[in-house]
Structures are given as structure tokens and as C-alpha cells.
Structure 1
Amino acid sequence: MSSTQSDWLNFLKPNYKVLPLKERLYSGIGALCGLAISSLVSWYVLGGMNAWYIAPMGASSVLLFAVPNSPLAQPWNVVVGNTLAGIIGVACTQYLPDLTSAFSVAVGFAIFMMMTTDSLHPPSGAVAITAVLGGEAVHRLGFHFVLYPVLLNSILLLLFAVFFNRLIGRHYPITAHVNERSKDPTPTQKVSIQPKDIEYALEQHTELLDISQYDLEKIILEAQEHASERLNSYFVCQDIMSRDVIKLHEDDDIHQALEKFKEVNLMSLPVVNAEEELVGTLALYEVVEWFKGAADPRNSWQHYVRQIMSRRVVTVEPSQPIQDLVPYFVEKSFNYIPVVENQRLIGIVSRADMIAALQQLLNQQYVLT
């Protein structure tokens, strides 16, 4: 292939990265299972009706399973977009006798209405055409076509997409990166990119971008963080961690645990087993909840820390850069993070340790400038 042909091909190709093989397989398997399961349920619900499943759901599955982070793939877009397109398509079929006029007007008006209601979903254009060109079986349904198969198919496929994407660790539907405690920006946003900054930048572009404001903000923040790593030398966890750790043992009596909380005036403590391996954490509020329910016969079997502790623990390694910990302290309000080596608890990094280290880095930058 000549260099000119190669240049043309590169010009025509989209600027998308090729996902790892595992992600590509997940997308294909998700679409396969989603379409199969939702179509079988539709067939069961609608019985012998010829229009029990429609082709545009195949296009919806591309978005739901291959690019679930796209604003065009969100539940509002799938349900509202397909429903609006179905209503418009059926109306055009009934009031415009010429098929070419009917499906052209249906698609054009559907796009306008979807963009007006912030529910743009590309496969909905095919829903509008299906309503017009779907044949006698579809025309016989009239506006029932909007309820079944369109709405039924959309909801079934969407429900499976939510289940499947979360099962494989994807965040779907996407959620706003907001401060859960107040209406203010999150602590990270206050000193970097804020939602209003992204909104301002997007307002300068009249074209629709297939990326959410929240994903765009996340990418910019990650790029900033990566760039700063090249400019500064950071501490690692073992440099700043406390090695003399106040901890609980999993076989401690809950009353003993309360006494230790009173002694150290802390809100949460790590829990280890006999081999000093980290097995969980116990928060003071969990002890309080246990005391509140102690009279309940269902809780009579609970006497030890291991029975009420939380086993899901965020940990770090000794050689891990401390900037990896910032989101936990800033966004999730952690008080400390355990440092683990070969499953054994060797220290903790507290919020105070982080503040001291970050202050030192700020002082170093001030001296350099």
C-alpha cells in the first residue's frame, strides 16, 4: 500500500483507541446475551405476534455494551429517545400517505424532538423508520407499537445492560462527579477544574460531543495529575506511614473494642488476625449500632470484632506514591489507609501524615520558584 493510500485511510479512520481484547469480548458477549434474553422475554410476553422484536435494538446494543459511557447510551436516551421516535413514526404513517415523505419527516422530526428533550439516541432514527416501513404487522399495531415492541424491547435490553456492565466492573449508568455533602464543588474541583469551567468550554462549541461533561472533567484531571508527576518528586507510602499501629484483633470482644476506641479517640481501627494479616476494619459507629441492637435476639450470637467488622478494606503498598491516596482522603473523607505487604499490616497513612507530606512538597515548590 502506498503512503498516499495510507494517509487517506488514516484520514478516514476515527480517532478512537482500540480496546483490549478482554473489553472487546465483553462488549460482544454482552450484546449477544442482552439481545437473546430480551428477545426471548419479548416473545414470551407477546406470543405469536410477528413484531415481537425490532432490528433497531441491535444498534442500541452497540451503544449499551460497547460504549456505555457515551451520553447517547444512558437510560434516559434509550427509553425516551426510542419512545418519542416510535410515536412520531406511527403518527407519520397514519397522516402521510407517501412512504418516502413519511419516513423522512419521521426521522427528521424525531431527531429534533430528541435533541430538544436531551434524549438523543441514534438507533431511535431506525425505530422511526421501522414504524413507517415495518409492514402490515407493524401498521396493524398502531400506537400500540410504541408500547410493544419498542418500549418493552428498550426496557428489557436496558435492564440487562445495567446488570451486565456492573457485573464486569463498569460504571453504568454514568453518574455526576458531585459533592455528596454539599452543593459546593468537591475539594479537588475547588483547586482545579470545576463543572462550571467545563460548561463554559462546551458552550463555545455548538456541535454535539459524544462524551459526558463528567468524563471530560475526569480525563482532564487525570492528565493534569500525570503531568505533575513529571515535574515533582513525590513521597511513597513507606516514607510517611506510621509503623506503630493501633489496631484490633478479630477475636477481641466487642466491649474490649469499645474500650480501645475510648482510649485512643479514633473513629475507626484496622483489624488483624493472629498472623498480623489485615482482615478488616471496625468503625466506632458499627460498635454503636451493635450496642443499639444488642437486645435483639437475632444479634445474640455476635460477641467478637470479626462478626461486625467490615471486610472490604482499601489498602496501599509501601512503595506506592502518596498521590494515589489523595482521592480517598479528599473525595471520600478517609481518616487513614492501611499499608500492607504480603497481606500483613505494616503501617497506616493517616490524614495528618498526608497533610504534613503535602505541605513539605508545597514548601519545596515555593523554594524552587
Structure 2
Amino acid sequence: MSDTPLQWLNILKPNFKVLPLKERLLCGLGALLGLVISSLMSWYALGGFNAWYIAPMGASSVLLFAVPASPLAQPWNMIVGNIIAGIIGVTCALYIPNLTEAFSLAVALSIFLMMTTDSLHPPSGAVAITAVLGGDAVHQLGYHFIFYPVLLNSVLLLGCAILFNRMLGKQYPQVAQINQRSKDPTPTQKVTIQPKDIHEVLEQHTELLDISEYDLQKIILEAQEKANARTSTSYLCQDIMTKDVICLNEQDDIHQALDKFKAVNLMSLPVVDTQDKLVGTLALYDVVEWFKRAEHGVQWQHQIKQIMNLKVVTVRPTQPIQDLVPYFVEKSFNYIPVIDDGKLVGIISRADMIAVLQKQLSVAIQL
């Protein structure tokens, strides 16, 4: 039976994740704001000069706002890639009279040099072509074309992308590695797939993948955790949490917090309001820093709520404890609050997790 036209077209489609409508709209909004704001800033920086924006920035905005996790969208790639393409493009335009030969050679050399410097950025190919085919306005700029519009446009658009992605809670630029404390594999990686394993496999592939080794490591580790969850005894957070929680009140004085830290000998405590709703966490480190600042001048902060950390990782009572493993193992959390309807109902410490894992290990040995 022959394939229908629709089936044949599906073969041509990439195996690419389609984001929800909200995410797609945000990507488009980011590109809109980034291009408008950066072009206006460019115009302002030049004192009202009739600034123009080069077309490759539209292609760059696709990467910066739609796929910021791509290695091709990182700041190094955009800035260095565009500079290389600009230099090669202007040079070819100056010394090669035939336009076809000039822009073809410019793109080819740009690709080679970008791959050599690990700065491959697809829109930079269009920068090289613009330098050759941009007309008299571009040719009159000569090598100044590299600084404006190329470099100025790139830096401004990049700044907008960093701010926009950070506002959405996305990590951009991408962090270089999972284990930030040491070059050694993380605790989870030591007993599963290690970065060197991924690196050795990638070395055997000659094609360039549009995904970083770091992202591959994260995906593989998360998949490993889900696989492990299917083979382990199921515990919920409510099964192992401590219900009698030692905590601080956001209205308490910072000196009171220090007294409680001394009394319980803990490094961090959750903070609640008058209705027992979790509002933050306070570490002994934060209190020490407060005292250091107070030694150098008048200290206007006196309450816990003024120095506490508002970003708190929490779990629900009915959540499986496997969800907590990455925080205790990879990020070295000491505890995680358990909340129900916003209220603090319990806490799970690293010791609680170790006790459960020790029990599971004992059962596995007996089997």
C-alpha cells in the first residue's frame, strides 16, 4: 500500500517538540520586544541617526527567544560568530569584484572559522551575505560595518534576550556543567551514566548535534530517575515527613533567629507568617552576613522577613519521595518543606531520606 501525501509529508517533518500555545506566544512576544527595544536603543545611542537593522537579527531572535537552550543561541556564538562573518564578508566585498564569488566564499569561510572557534551561529551566514550584497550604504562603511550595525545590534538584542528569558525563569545563558563544585561526576552520575560516557559516544558521531552535552546529561539523569522509580518501593512525602516542625516567624527579630539557631543547632529554618503559611527560608549564613553589614554602619533591617530567601522549593504530602532525590543529591539541600494549601505541614530532611534509602537497600540485599 502506497503512502498518502500526508504520510509522505510527515516524513519530512522534524522530530521536534511542539510547545503549548502560551509558550509559543511568549516566544513571539520576546522576539517582538527584543527587536523593538534593541532597535530603539540603537537609534538613541547614535543620537537620532536614522539607524537601520540588519535582517540577520531576525534570524538570531528565533534562536534567542524560541530555543535559548540551543548551543547555537549562546552569547559566545552570537557575538563571535557575527564578528567573524562581518570581517570575512567585508573583506570579500572589498577584494572580490564578482558578487557571486564574494558572498559564496564569505559564507564558506565564515562557517569554517565559526566551527573552528566553537562559535557557530546560523544567522551569521546572512551577516556575511549582507556585507557583500548590502549595497553602497554597507560598502561605504567598510570595516565599520562590523561595529555598527552588526556588533551594536547583536549586543543590544542579546541583552534583551537575557533579561526576557530570566524573567520567564529560563536559564540563559546555559550553565556549563551540572556539578559546579567539582570536576568529578555528581553523586548520581557516579552510579549511572557519567559525562565522560556521553562525551565518548558523541566523539564517535561526526555530525553536529543542536544540543549540548550538559542538556544530554540532564535528560539522561531525569530519565534514569523515572526508571528507578518504577523499580523501587513507593513512599510518599507524608510517610516520612516530620510534622513537628521547628520554624521561624517572619515578624521575629533577627537576634531572635540567631538564638533559635544556637538552640537547635541547624543551618537553615523555614519561615512562616501568623497563619502558618510558608513565606520563605532563613539560613544561618544570612544572619551572619547581616551582622557583618551591621558592623560597618547603621542597619535598617531588623526583622526576619527583610533578609529571608523568598524562593523556596516545596513538595506536597502526596508527592513520591523520588521527586526529592535530585535536590538532596545534586543540589545538597538539607531539608525540603512539605506544604498543603500553602500551610507548612511537615519537613523532610536529608536524614529522613537516608533512613528510607537504607531500608530499601536492606530489603534489596535480603532479596
Contact 1:337 1:350 (8 Å CA) reproduced? yes
Structure 2 CA distance for partners of 1:278 and 1:42, relative to 1, 3 Å: closer
Contact 1:72 1:119 (8 Å CA) reproduced? yes
Match of 1:316 in 2: 315
Structure 2 CA distance for partners of 1:316 and 1:127, relative to 1, 3 Å: same
Structure 2 CA distance for partners of 1:363 and 1:285, relative to 1, 3 Å: same
Moved more, 118-127 or 282-291: 282-291
- Identity among equivalent pairs (%): 70
Contact 1:286 1:309 (8 Å CA) reproduced? yes
Separation (CA, whole Å) in 2 of partners of 1:241 and 1:351: 11
Shift of 1:166: 1.1
Shift of 1:90: 0.6
1:298-321 alpha-carbon deviations (Å, 9 max, x no partner): 32561x434443333222111111
Shift of 1:296: 5.5
Match of 2:189 in 1: 189
Contact 1:90 1:131 (8 Å CA) reproduced? yes
1:248-307 alpha-carbon deviations (Å, 9 max, x no partner): 3334444443333222211122233333322332222233333444456532561x4344
Match of 2:65 in 1: 65
Shift of 1:107: 0.6
Shift of 1:69: 0.8
Structural mapping, 1:223-262, within 5 Å: 223-262=223-262
Match of 2:355 in 1: 356
Contact 2:85 2:128 (8 Å CA) reproduced? yes
Count matched residues. Answer: 366
Structural mapping, 1:1-369, within 5 Å: 3-46=3-46, 52-294=52-294, 298-299=298-299, 302=302, 304-368=303-367
Q: Which amino acid aligns with 1:320?
A: Q
Moved more, 284-293 or 150-159: 284-293
Separation (CA, whole Å) in 2 of partners of 1:67 and 1:260: 46
Moved more, 64-73 or 173-182: 173-182
Give the gaps of 5 or more residues in structure 1: none
Give the gaps of 5 or more residues in structure 2: none
Contact 1:89 1:128 (8 Å CA) reproduced? yes
Separation (CA, whole Å) in 2 of partners of 1:308 and 1:153: 39
Contact 1:336 1:348 (8 Å CA) reproduced? yes
RMSD of equivalent CA atoms: 2.1
SS of 2:4's equivalent? helix
Contact 1:51 1:137 (8 Å CA) reproduced? no
Separation (CA, whole Å) in 1 of partners of 2:194 and 2:31: 35
Contact 2:334 2:350 (8 Å CA) reproduced? yes
Contact 1:77 1:120 (8 Å CA) reproduced? yes
1:164-219 alpha-carbon deviations (Å, 9 max, x no partner): 11111221111123323233222222222222111111101010001111111111
SS of 1:337's equivalent? strand
Separation (CA, whole Å) in 2 of partners of 1:297 and 1:49: 47
Q: Which amino acid aligns with 1:118?
A: D
Separation (CA, whole Å) in 2 of partners of 1:225 and 1:312: 25
Q: Which amino acid aligns with 1:120?
A: L
SS of 1:299's equivalent? coil
Structure 2 CA distance for partners of 1:5 and 1:331, relative to 1, 3 Å: same
TM-score (norm: length of structure 2)? 0.93
Contact 1:79 1:154 (8 Å CA) reproduced? yes
TM-score (norm: length of structure 1)? 0.93
Shift of 1:45: 3.6
Separation (CA, whole Å) in 2 of partners of 1:81 and 1:14: 25
Moved more, 357-366 or 72-81: 357-366
Separation (CA, whole Å) in 2 of partners of 1:121 and 1:300: 48
Separation (CA, whole Å) in 2 of partners of 1:253 and 1:127: 58
Separation (CA, whole Å) in 1 of partners of 2:182 and 2:227: 30
Separation (CA, whole Å) in 1 of partners of 2:169 and 2:196: 29
Shift of 1:23: 1.1
Structure 2 CA distance for partners of 1:348 and 1:90, relative to 1, 3 Å: same
Contact 1:43 1:53 (8 Å CA) reproduced? no
Contact 1:52 1:148 (8 Å CA) reproduced? no
Contact 2:42 2:51 (8 Å CA) reproduced? no
Structure 2 CA distance for partners of 1:289 and 1:120, relative to 1, 3 Å: closer
Q: Which amino acid aligns with 1:358?
A: L
Separation (CA, whole Å) in 1 of partners of 2:269 and 2:170: 30
Separation (CA, whole Å) in 1 of partners of 2:292 and 2:51: 57
